[in-house]
Amino acid sequence: MLRIGLTGGIGAGKSEVSARLAAQGAVVIDADAIAREVVEPGTEGLAEVVEAFGPEVLLPDGRLDRPRLGEIVFGDPELRAKLNAIVHPRVGARMAELEGEAAPGAIVVHDVPLIAEGGRTDAYDLVVVVDAPPRVQIDRLVRRRGMTREQAKARMAAQASREQRLAIGDIVVDNSGSLTELDRQVGDLWAELRRRADRA
């Protein structure tokens, strides 16, 4: 089994790369999707979040109001740490469980936005960083996610810097161009991952 950590800043296009690797045959384990799963209605995770942050973080249907919770914790490192202490261990356990279900020779891609922030590069055989210049990230966040430029810059500032991410990358995928160019790069990346998996 080859364990890949896939990361990239908000708006860099990590999801595009992740989807293309899945189409090639990688087992993709998406940390963001699991982070949503562990706070679904009826879970212990959601109960703990409500206990910590109050019932105002719930929508009328009992689901987590993620934007509201984001507003509460975004500017406060202590509250963010409190939330992470509830969610991260559950996400880690579920990711390990899913990895355990993969075939022995699989290429397992852990799609994790915050590898640089968490300092856990040693958890992977290889770290792949999806990169785009900050102006491209901002443009995508404004056009595709409806953020203001200020909101986009604030979200980017809350993550590791571009330099910190590039410093941990064994392989960098430049996603500043077209989707056709991205297809070519991901094709090359997959060929390289297959070579390494075969050697392993």
Contact 8, 134 (CB under 8 A): no
3-state secondary structure of 165: helix
Residue type, 163: E
Q: How far apart are CA 14 and CA 131, in angstroms?
A: 8
CA 180, chain centre distance (Å): 23
Token pair for 160: 């590791």
Q: What is the pLDDT of residue 69?
A: 93
pLDDT of residue 35: 94
Query: Which fold is adopted by the domain 33-104?
Result: Rossmann fold (3.40.50)
Look at the alpha carbons of 153, 159, 166, 185 in this order and tell me if their dihedral is positive or negative.
negative
Q: pLDDT tens digit string along 10-45?
A: 999 999 999 999 999 999 999 999 999 999 999 999
What is the model's pLDDT at position 74? 78
173 pLDDT band (50/70/90 cuts)?
Answer: very high
Task: Give percent above pLDDT 90 in the chain.
Answer: 80
Domain 1-26+106-200 grouped into CATH 3.40.50.300: yes
Q: Same topology for domains 1-26+106-200 and 33-104, yes or no?
A: yes
pLDDT at 102: 95
Reported pTM? 0.87
Query: Position 45: which residue type?
Result: G
Q: What is the pLDDT of residues 131-155, one digit of tens each?
A: 999 999 999 999 988 889 998 998 8
Please give the DSSP secondary-structure letter assigned to residue 30: E
In the chain, where the domains are located: 1-26+106-200, 33-104
Q: Where are the beta strands (DSSP E) in the chain?
A: 2-8, 27-30, 107-111, 126-131, 171-174
